């Protein structure tokens, strides 16, 4: 019987697939790329039509030898890397490194989910390597290498820091963050007022706020209207009943998963992708062994396969009743596209088996895996359920010639809410206006006039930045998380309470990029480049044509910037820590292991000390600062800066406020501030919990 070799990227994936294929198949992981452009030099021959020079990645020699040996013994080799451009490129480089063209008995297979059915079916649909997709990845790699290796040295020279880098996508993302901060700084708030009358409504214990519909711009006008309403009666002049339907959300794409996970389970984009990768590659499930729990995680499609659609609809009918199943065309236009075979990489992120509920696997996965799987599962099931129908009841009252309104919304038909609800759904206020009749005069308890100011644009969060990048066609599903991670790691931006802020270093880098390389940081240019890469992947454009057209302008800009840009000095951030040797305020430096404090009088004074992030709370035992620390395994906790003399610690973040009941220190737990004294039991709401 023929001996077969299957090559995948990761050991976890190899373990999962091996179980499905049996003893006649060896499954080995390449652990990602085996060939790449060299790190020590450009690796692109610009004089030879931009021909790339690939080398074996350092440390992969022994693995390649193992793969060559296994390929030599096999009758057939199947390249089963991920179903996207990057995966296609990895398969191509494996074919070259293992000299598989000499063997002639190798094929490319892909599967959107790592299940027995999908893997077996992929064998029947084995194909040749798609060189158009390989060329699209190669074009991206070459263009990005030209940008990075030609602009980065210029940044080193002008800013005097060797740790800097420029990137085609990251530079645009940095400019977007910078532009948003400029908008916020330039924003001039405008005053406006709202007036509400708290009226007694039959059948309601609390008063109901009826809001004045007039636009009020000044305190004087608000004061006059408030006084006029306080002297008037409030008569019901109109009652309207209506309905509103809200469609179910579509299944997740990469970007919508990242956005939703950030808001609902407080995952960063990189954490979402890391955990999703684990769920995709396989988790050990009791009674099943290792199995992939979700489909491929890098996708911009909301389509699902016909088989998955049938399965989830059957589940909905069994679990909730046929009245909850969505119409045949589903809730999204993408679902109307004809389903492709198992080779199709463009399917939404969904569970591989809808009968594998979150509750059924809860004890077999980590807490992080459970949270993300539950989110993906519930969104997928909801996508094939009927819309929610809201009954809207609006009451209009007239007072002193002015119109005030209040609306109540109740769920007439729950639809997908049985499975999945948004924050908007959760926060609906439950009031009942049905006891009112036209002509009733409602008693007013009080009239409230509140001053407001228009708000500036919000700072980017990771999820908002991903959404904006996607909306503008910048980057692709696989690039969002790495782009943000690079900006954070380079310290071009910082993250505080989820918001992203540009640093002084980031402003300096962005300033150079905007001045010297306006096309590189132009959103339309970057989006057009993504479209060109897609065209290469579709076989409509040759990859070297794209590079030939791109490079001359970059070359001219590099030369002009090198000759004309002045050097910029970036000052170190000054801390409030005083050097005990010379008395100077120490500055924050960055080393291989993160931040540390150093004396600014180096080399005369060489004093350094660890940097700890203060949280603005004093130690309840000794009065020194509480700082954020990490265990050896990386888990954060909060402890006294005076350790080891003071060994106070808490796994939960402390707040400065003391307990009003017992005087003990309080901590944040979920959405509550709670007293640390278990015998006290004091709690209160905390709006920024979990940040």
Mean confidence (pLDDT) of the chain:
89
Give the residue-averaged pLDDT of 488-500.
Answer: 88
Please report the pLDDT score of residue 634 as a whole number. 52
Instruction: Between 159 and 130, name the one with better pLDDT.
Output: 130
Please report the pLDDT score of residue 240 as a whole number. 96
Please report the pLDDT score of residue 338 as a whole number. 37
Task: Give the pLDDT confidence of 175-210 residue by residue, as tens digits.
Answer: 999 999 999 989 888 889 999 999 999 888 889 999
Q: What is the DSSP letter of 458?
A: P
251's tokens: 């299944």
Q: What percent of the chain has pLDDT over 90?
A: 67
Please report the pLDDT score of residue 689 as a whole number. 38
Q: Tell me, yes or no, if 492 is annotated catalytic.
A: no
Task: Give the pLDDT confidence of 103-136 residue by residue, as tens digits.
Answer: 778 999 999 999 999 999 999 999 999 999 999 9
Confidence label for 334 from pLDDT (cuts 50, 70 and 90): very low
Annotate 370-399 with DSSP letters as a single string.
Answer: HHHHHHHHHHHHHTTBPPEEEEEEEEEEEE
Give the residue-averaged pLDDT of 151-159.
Answer: 89
Angle at 115 between CA 113 and CA 118, to 5 degrees: 70
SS3 469: helix
Sign, Cα dihedral of 91, 96, 98, 101: positive
Q: What percent of the chain has pLDDT over 70?
A: 94
Please report the pLDDT score of residue 498 as a whole number. 86
d(CA 320, CA 385): 10
List, in sequence order, the alpha helices (H) in 288-338.
306-319
Please report the pLDDT score of residue 119 as a whole number. 92
d(CA 227, CA 46): 78
Q: What is the DSSP letter of 331?
A: S
Residue 248, pLDDT above cutoff 70: yes
Give the residue-averaged pLDDT of 433-452.
Answer: 92
Q: One of 78, 106, 280, 296 is an active-site residue; which one?
A: 296
Beta bridge partners, 441, equal 235
632's tokens: 């050896």
Torsion angles phi and psi, residue 553, rounded to 5: -65, -40
Task: Give the pLDDT confidence of 85-103 residue by residue, as tens digits.
Answer: 999 999 999 999 999 988 7
């Amino acid at each position: 019987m023929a001996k077969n070799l299957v090559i995948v990227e990761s050991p976890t994936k190899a373990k999962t697939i091996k179980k499905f294929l049996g003893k006649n198949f060896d499954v080995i992981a390449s652990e990602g790329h085996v060939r790449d452009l060299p790190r020590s030099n450009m690796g692109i021959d610009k004089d030879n039509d931009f021909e790339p020079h690939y080398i074996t990645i350092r440390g992969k020699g022994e693995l390649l030898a193992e793969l060559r040996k296994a390929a030599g013994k096999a009758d057939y080799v199947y390249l089963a890397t991920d179903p996207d451009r990057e995966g296609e490129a990895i398969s191509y480089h494996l074919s070259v490194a293992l000299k598989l063209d000499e063997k002639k008995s190798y094929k490319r297979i892909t599967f959107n989910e790592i299940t027995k059915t999908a893997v077996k079916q992929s064998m029947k649909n084995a194909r040749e390597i798609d060189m158009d997709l390989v060329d699209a990845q190669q074009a991206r790699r070459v263009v990005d290498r030209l940008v990075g290796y030609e602009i980065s040295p210029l940044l080193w020279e002008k800013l005097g820091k060797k740790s800097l880098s420029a990137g085609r996508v990251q530079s645009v993302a940095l400019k977007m963050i910078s532009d948003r901060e400029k908008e916020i700084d330039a924003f001039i708030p405008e005053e406006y007022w709202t007036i509400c009358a708290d009226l007694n409504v039959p059948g309601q214990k609390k008063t109901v706020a009826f809001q004045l519909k007039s636009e009020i711009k000044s305190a004087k006008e608000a004061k006059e209207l408030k006084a006029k309403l306080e002297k008037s009666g409030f008569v019901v002049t109109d009652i309207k009943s209506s309905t509103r339907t809200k469609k179910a959300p579509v299944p997740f794409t990469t970007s919508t998963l990242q956005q939703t996970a950030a808001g609902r389970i407080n995952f960063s984009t990189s954490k979402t992708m890391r955990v999703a990768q684990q769920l995709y590659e396989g988790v050990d499930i009791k009674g099943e062994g290792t199995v992939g729990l979700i489909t491929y995680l890098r996708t911009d499609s909301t389509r699902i396969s016909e088989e998955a659609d049938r399965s989830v609809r059957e589940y909905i009918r069994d679990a909730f009743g046929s009245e909850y199943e969505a119409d045949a065309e589903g809730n999204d236009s993408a679902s109307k596209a004809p389903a492709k075979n198992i080779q199709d990489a463009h399917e939404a992120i969904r569970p591989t088996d809808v009968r594998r509920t979150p509750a059924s696997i809860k004890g077999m996965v980590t807490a992080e895996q459970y949270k993300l799987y539950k989110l993906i599962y519930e969104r997928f099931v909801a996508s094939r359920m009927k819309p929610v129908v809201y009954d809207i009841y609006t009451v209009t009252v007239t007072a002193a010639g002015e119109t005030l309104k209040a609306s109540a919304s109740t769920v007439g038909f729950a639809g997908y809410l049985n499975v999945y609800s948004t924050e908007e759904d959760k926060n609906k206020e439950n009031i009942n206006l049905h006891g009112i009749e036209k002509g009733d005069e409602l008693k007013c308890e009080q009239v409230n006039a509140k001053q407001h100011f228009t708000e500036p644009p919000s700072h980017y969060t990771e999820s908002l930045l991903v959404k904006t990048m996607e909306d503008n066609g910048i980057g692709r599903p696989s690039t969002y998380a790495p782009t943000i991670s690079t900006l954070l790691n380079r310290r071009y931006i910082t993250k505080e309470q989820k918001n992203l802020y540009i640093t002084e270093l980031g402003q300096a880098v962005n300033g150079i990029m905007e001045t010297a390389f306006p096309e590189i940081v132009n959103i339309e240019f970057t989006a057009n480049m993504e479209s060109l890469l897609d065209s290469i992947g579709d076989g409509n454009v040759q990859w070297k044509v794209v590079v030939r057209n791109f490079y001359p302008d970059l070359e001219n800009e590099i030369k002009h910037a090198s000759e004309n840009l002045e050097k910029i000095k970036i000052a170190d951030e000054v801390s409030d820590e005083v050097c005990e040797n010379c008395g100077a305020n120490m500055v924050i430096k960055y080393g291989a292991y993160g931040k540390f404090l150093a004396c600014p009088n180096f080399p005369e004074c060489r004093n350094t000390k660890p940097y700890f992030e203060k949280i603005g709370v004093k130690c309840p035992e000794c009065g020194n600062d509480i700082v954020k620390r990490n265990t050896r395994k990386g888990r954060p906790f909060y402890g006294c800066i005076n350790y080891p003399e003071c060994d106070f610690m808490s796994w939960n973040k402390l707040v400065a406020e003391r307990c009003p009941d017992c005087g003990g220190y309080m901590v944040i737990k979920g959405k509550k501030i709670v007293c640390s004294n278990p015998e006290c039991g004091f709690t209160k709401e905390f709006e920024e919990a979990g940040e």
